[in-house]
A and B are shown apart, each in its own frame.
Chain A
Amino acid sequence: MRDDGSRALLLSVRGLAKRFPVHRGLFRRRAGEVHALNGVDLDIAPGETLGLVGESGSGKTTAGRAILRLLEPSEGLAFFRSRTVAQAGGPETVDLFQAPPSQLRLLRRDMQIVFQDPYSSLNPRLRIGTNVAEPLRAAGMSRPSRREMVAQLLDDVGLASSLMERFPHELSGGQRQRVAIARALALQPQFIVADEAVSALDVSIQAQVLNLFLELQRARGLAYLFVAHNLAVVRYVSHRIAVMYLGRIVELADTDALFAQPRHPYTEALIDSVPGAEGARAVVQGEPPNPIRPPSGCPFHPRCRYAQPVCATERPPLRQITPASAAACHFAETLDLQGV
């Protein structure tokens, strides 16, 4: 499993789709489907961070969860190079969406998630030590070695091992997020989905946790899918960035290229909208449309200031524009879009 530049990939997703049923009326009649994700392709190399940005309803959170099979995908393929499965005598790459429950249990060690709100992902009735040790217990590690391992993990995320005896409500938001990260690291995963993992934190604490993610990546060679709505945060941690709109990737580029020369008008609109001293350069009209009734053609065309008649009828596929950028826009080559 390699990409065109012949890098060995850790994860390769093709044609990922997720549909949710929509129910209406008194008898909750099934009235249709929402396409939360549509034809999403992405690759992640070992030790790499792919940022996933977009506004509400863009599908960024659904993508992260579907890849980990916390949500069952409706369509698509996902190949993952699992160390644990290979060590157990399985194939070198596993098809995540076809993996049987026995294989999925092994895969869980390699793929973890850190959520926005650590308070809801930690068990409030268990001490911090027990919370962090939970995956180790499930993996069959003995009690004394678990304790030693938990102390080490807490140290790795910058927490005193004395916190082991505390309960989640006794910790601050930043400390709880560190605990959630320690637990995600317990089984030495290769890949972590960070789902708005710093969004709820105050800025001084957010910077601490962002730096922790970067340090852990350097020390352990972790790969991240970093899902967030804050463009500057994603830029800080990501090697490459995928911009999502209404369930599709509209631009996928190297971080520097994305900000130097965006290739999709929506990316430009996002950059323009970030508040700052000069004020927003241009304000895009309208709001993200309801995914139940997506627009025809290019999903962004009703809000796009460069839209042409063709944009309302034909949906442009995501295609490579330069070696560093791919965009789903009919006019990606000719538009002179403004970066930072």
Chain B
Amino acid sequence: MAAERALLDVQDLRVSFGEGPRARPALDGVSFSVRPGKTLAIVGESGCGKSLTALSIMRLLPTPPARITGGRILFDRGDGPALDLASADRRTMRRLRGKDIAMIFQEPMTALDPVYPIGDQIGEVLVEHEGLSRKDALARAVELLRLVGVPSPEERARQYPHEFSGGMRQRAVIAIALACEPALLIADEPTTALDVTVQAQVLRLMRDIQQRFASSILFITHDMGVVGQMADEVVVMYLGQVVEEGPVSAVLSRPAHPYSQGLIASIPTLDMPRDRVLQPISGMVPPIGSITTGCRFRTRCPHAMEICRRDPPKVTTPAGNSASCWLVEEST
């Protein structure tokens, strides 16, 4: 990991809601990097900041009330020094979005404009960023629809979003995202709204596409099964911070942080023994900004100690996970 240059390197990212003394930190020093051609998953429950992280990278935060208050988001365009998206101007971001970085949202219907044919919506990106003529853009749109597995693409390109099923709409959204062959694809719960058989199709499609275009994917999800299937590396977030990160196989089979352990122990799986009782994490996620020092998980942690009031160190286990936890520090 050391020698290779990261495509995206997020360093100590801070985002707050509100201003002055009433500002509440929603992202509190988030760091991770996405390597070229790899998939990094961010996993966590509602309010952990995973979607906020994606919106920060795209600079699509609802401002106000949210704003970036610190840190860097370094994006490597391959030529010269990496660009800091956290401080890039609007014009730079507009040129980047859809071309170098594309995003796929959970609900395809909100990402599509109901009054334009699908083909025009895919073509628009190509006219905007690649300077293609309308005619060439439409021809390329048909090719893209074929690529993402939409049957009879010539005909489908002329149809409107309401004429597409949920799975086909998400394929169309993926076609738009792929139009300019972006280096980074950010997918925020792209299959959560889909039926399970259709989810399997879309996940397979995303895998195929990644191999074909060698693109990097930042995959945001709450589903550990999806993490296991899609990602090379995983970042576990809790209350605006990264609590653990590492190779997927290590984090899923030997989670080091008590929150990751709790998360995995609370998910029923198809192969767990029938008589095993789920071990939920006690209590619930506290409101954003209510715990601002020490380990944020200590109020729910079964192993909480006095020292947990102090900010925990980041410790790397022999398996290769890095966890921010005093207990892990003690045992390694």
User: Residues on A close to B: CB < 8 A?
Assistant: 55-56, 172, 174-175, 202-208, 210-211, 229, 231-233, 235-236, 255-256, 259, 269-280, 283-285, 287-288, 303, 340
Contact = CB atoms under 8 A, between A and B. Distances in A.
Interface string B273-300: 0100111110011000000000000000
24 contacts: A172-B285, A174-B284, A204-B45, A204-B266, A206-B280, A207-B265, A207-B267, A207-B268, A208-B266, A229-B195, A232-B268, A232-B269, A235-B270, A256-B274, A273-B196, A273-B200, A275-B200, A275-B225, A276-B269, A276-B270, A277-B228, A277-B229, A279-B207, A340-B270
B204 A203 contact: no
Contacts of A283: 197, 200-201, 204
A205 B271 CA distance: 21
Nearest to B265: A207
A204 B280 contact: yes
Contacts of B203: 275, 280
Counting chain B CB atoms within 10 Å of each CB, which of A55, A56, A275, A287 scores highest? A275
Nearest to B287: A172
Contact of B228 (A55, A269, A276): A276
Contacts, number: 122
B223 interface: yes
B226 A275 contact: yes
B233 to A, nearest CB: 14
A44 B270 CA distance: 23
Contacts of A255: 274
Contacts of A276: 225, 228-229, 269-270
Contact of A208 (B46, B224, B230, B280): B280
Interface in B197-255: 197-201, 203-204, 207, 222-226, 228-230, 248-249, 252
Nearest to B205: A283
A172 B47 CA distance: 12
Contacts of B46: 202
Contacts of A229: 195-196
B36 interface: no
B324 to A, nearest CB: 19
B61 interface: no
A270 B197 contact: yes
B29 interface: no
Contacts of B229: 275-280
B222 A203 contact: yes
A231 B266 CA distance: 15
Contacts of A256: 274
A273 B280 contact: no
A203 B228 contact: no
- Contact-size category for B: 35 or more
A323 B203 CA distance: 37
A286 B228 CA distance: 24
B270 A56 contact: no
Contacts of B249: 277
Given A256-B274, A275-B225, A276-B229, A203 B196 contact: no
A231 B278 contact: no
B278 A207 contact: yes
Given A202-B222, A204-B45, A235-B268, A274 B196 contact: yes
B161 interface: no
Contacts of B248: 277
A297 to B, nearest CB: 20
Interface string B255-273: 0000000110111111100
B243 to A, nearest CB: 13
A35 B254 CA distance: 48
Nearest to A212: B280
Nearest to B201: A283
Contacts of A279: 207, 229
Contacts of B266: 203-204, 206-208
Nearest to B252: A277
Given A275-B199, A283-B201, 20 more contacts: A55-B196, A55-B198, A56-B166, A172-B284, A174-B284, A203-B45, A204-B281, A208-B280, A210-B268, A231-B270, A233-B268, A235-B268, A259-B270, A272-B200, A276-B229, A277-B249, A283-B204, A284-B197, A284-B201, A287-B167
B170 to A, nearest CB: 11
A340 B271 contact: yes
A19 to B, nearest CB: 23
A311 to B, nearest CB: 18
Contacts of A211: 277-278, 280
A37 B203 CA distance: 30
Interface string B80-112: 000000000000000000000000000000000
Contacts of B284: 172, 174-175, 204-205
Contacts of B263: 203-204
B152 interface: no
Given A211-B280, A236-B268, A280-B204, A204 B197 contact: no
Nearest to B204: A283
Contacts of B279: 207
A303 B197 CA distance: 11
B84 to A, nearest CB: 33
Interface in B149-170: 165-168
A63 to B, nearest CB: 17
Nearest to B266: A207
Nearest to A255: B274
